[in-house]
Amino acid sequence: MSRIAVLDSTLRDGAQGEGISFSVTDKLNIVRALDELGVDLIEAGNPGSNPKDLDFFREASALELRHATLAAFGSTRRRDIACEDDEGLRSLLGASTPVVVIFGKSWDLHVKQVLKVSLDENLAMIRDTVAFLKAAGRRVIYDAEHFFDGYAADGEYAFASLRAAASAGAECLVLCDTNGGSLPERVGELTARALKEFGLPVGIHAHNDSGLAVANSLTAVRAGATHVQGTLVGFGERCGNANLSTLAANISFKMGRDCLQPDSLPKLSRITRLVAEIANVNFDESMPYLGLKAFAHKAGMHVDAVLKVTQSFEHVSPESVGNSRRILASEVGGRSVVLERMKRIDPSATKESPVVAQVVKRLKEMERLGYQFEGADASLELLMRKAAGKYKPFFELGHYRILGEQPTEGKLSSQALVKIRVEGEESISGAEGDGPVHALDVALRKALEKFYPSLGAMRLTDFKVRVLDSHDASAATVRVLIESTDGDSAWTTVGVSTDIIEASWIALVDSIEYKLIGDIERRYKPYL
């Protein structure tokens, strides 16, 4: 069976997603990450669309890539103009990429009402553009935009657009579900027909507007497609593109097809999170294969089974994609759940070990106070380390002080002053923030960074507050959950108090100590 080529469009189609904006440096870092993962083609943008993309292509020419090939993206020539006079095509050649991806119209509605040209002129635009780029020494991939909608409106014309690209020398014909409204049955049928008619490699470019981008892509591969497009984290225009991390894992594990590089899949979790971090998007912890919840198991028969036979409740090994199993500890967990976690800290622990009984007792006491550890693994590990005598604080608090004022548009509303001691040396730091917790977080890490420089890469990604006993109104106990990341790993901590600032402080301190323990042990497992 043929190898499945992967084209990542994070820097092009992904950049069209809401809230996504890449700097040139961001783009270069994402290219390096995708190359490390073993992506075949990186669709790096349209050099004719803006000066930033032109700058990127100039700098990208100096990159030494091991696996990936850069591809510039653009459209067919404009109507009533020769290819050599078209500024967009000249920009594509100026990008100097060995591969060019060209999109053209396959839907007669777009030809007549958007381009406002005749059907024959559109076919000539496709043929001329592909032939022009081929004559200039470029490999050409043809994206048939709106192919499935075009086929529904006029099937013969949609195939005529593919025929125009094939006759001019396109090396791969990509069927695009641009509006994301197709069903897998139609995708499979038309992929098979295109392969039979043209005898060229056929690809799939699916959007997720119906929640079927991955399913449609897998169906196309089953029908014979050997080229898949998407974005690694799944973001993109509207509801996003096919999630390539999910797609690559499914192609490899479920279909047994070669995809990416032989050693790529164990890197999938780390690199996908890295790209999300560069893009400044919150990682979906429900993401198949890679999310925090993907291999999470709670107490009861389910946990007992997975601890005995992992495949009883796991469809693949979590380590195969760089993830980790999580056993969610709670008051219903019992010693077997605690023991599984404790063995990571103390391999000699058994169910009869006094420390295991001590942790179970402490866990139940803490949950009675309002703590919840099933969603705060980092705080749970610190609790276990303290019980096992494998904990040493990294700093001592002198005091903190919070000042707030009425929020004003465009101004930070809170200030924090923190005094800490590290091995007898004091550090005092102040910071402003958008709210007291933000200010406290910034001030604390600022005070600690001269002792622990790695904290500079750490940031909070989520902050949740839950009132536990609402009948006490403003004096109620609150539980604070804080999610943190350093770009490679993500972890969650918890704090409980009747004072929301104190609860936040407890969770902040746990978050920092967990990070520093990981640095010392060089652990960097994403979800320990």
Match 């553009």 to its residue by tokens. 129
What end-to-end distance do the CA atoms of the chain give, in Å? 38
Answer positive or negative: Cα dihedral of 303, 306, 309, 312. Answer: positive
Please say whether the beta carbons of 257 and 222 come within 8 A: no
> Which amino acid appears at position 510 of this protein?
D
- What radius of gyration, in Å, describes the C-alpha atoms of the chain? 27
For the stretch 252-282, pLDDT in tens is 999 999 999 999 999 999 999 999 988 988 8
Q: For the structural domain made of 5-279, what CATH number should be given? A: 3.20.20.70
CA distances, 314 to each of 122, 195, 300 (Å)? 50, 36, 16
For the stretch 120-147, pLDDT in tens is 999 999 999 999 999 999 999 999 999 9
pLDDT at site 168? 98
Q: Is the pTM of this model over 0.75?
A: no
**Strands laid side by side in the 459-467 sheet:** 459-467, 478-485, 490-497
**Where in the sequence of the chain do the CATH 3.20.20.70 domains occur?**
5-279
Helices (H), 20-114: 24-37, 51-60, 87-94, 108-110
For the stretch 232-243, pLDDT in tens is 999 999 999 999
pLDDT at site 527? 32
Higher-confidence residue: 301 or 522?
Answer: 301
Query: Phi then psi for 493, rounded to 5 degrees?
Result: -130, 165
Question: Could you tell me the pLDDT band of residue 155, with boundaries at 50, 70 and 90?
Answer: very high
**Token duo for residue 312:** 């009883």
pLDDT at site 471? 63
Residue 334 CB neighbours (<10 A): 16
- Angle separating helix axes 500-521 and 377-388, nearest 10 degrees: 70
Question: Could you tell me the pLDDT band of residue 338, with boundaries at 50, 70 and 90?
Answer: confident
Q: Can you tell me the distance from the alpha carbon of 39 to that of 28, in angstroms, rounded to the nearest whole number? A: 15
pLDDT at site 231? 98
Query: Phi then psi for 134, rounded to 5 degrees?
Result: -65, -40
**Strands laid side by side in the 425-433 sheet:** 396-404, 414-422, 425-433
Q: Which helix (H) or strand (E) holds 426?
A: strand 425-433
DSSP state, 99?
Answer: E
**Token duo for residue 336:** 């077997």
Three-class HEC string of 221-235: HHCCCCEEEEECCCC
Q: Are strands 296-297 and 227-230 parallel, antiparallel or unpaired?
A: unpaired
**Where in the sequence of the chain do the CATH 3.30.160 domains occur?**
395-451
Answer positive or negative: Cα dihedral of 185, 186, 192, 195. Answer: negative
Task: Classify 241 as helix, strand or coil.
Answer: strand
For the stretch 164-182, pLDDT in tens is 999 999 999 999 999 999 9
Please say whether the beta carbons of 102 and 75 come within 8 A: yes
Question: What rounded mean pLDDT belongs to the chain?
Answer: 91
Please say whether the beta carbons of 170 and 141 come within 8 A: yes
Question: Could you tell me the pLDDT band of residue 110, with boundaries at 50, 70 and 90?
Answer: very high
Closest by CA position to 180, among listed 230, 223, 122:
230
pLDDT at site 176? 98
Closest by CA position to 122, among listed 97, 103, 94:
103
**Token duo for residue 317:** 């090994």
Q: For the structural domain made of 395-451, what CATH number should be given? A: 3.30.160
On the question of pLDDT at 108 being above 60, the answer is: yes
Answer positive or negative: Cα dihedral of 216, 218, 220, 222. Answer: negative
pLDDT at site 299? 58
pLDDT at site 300? 61
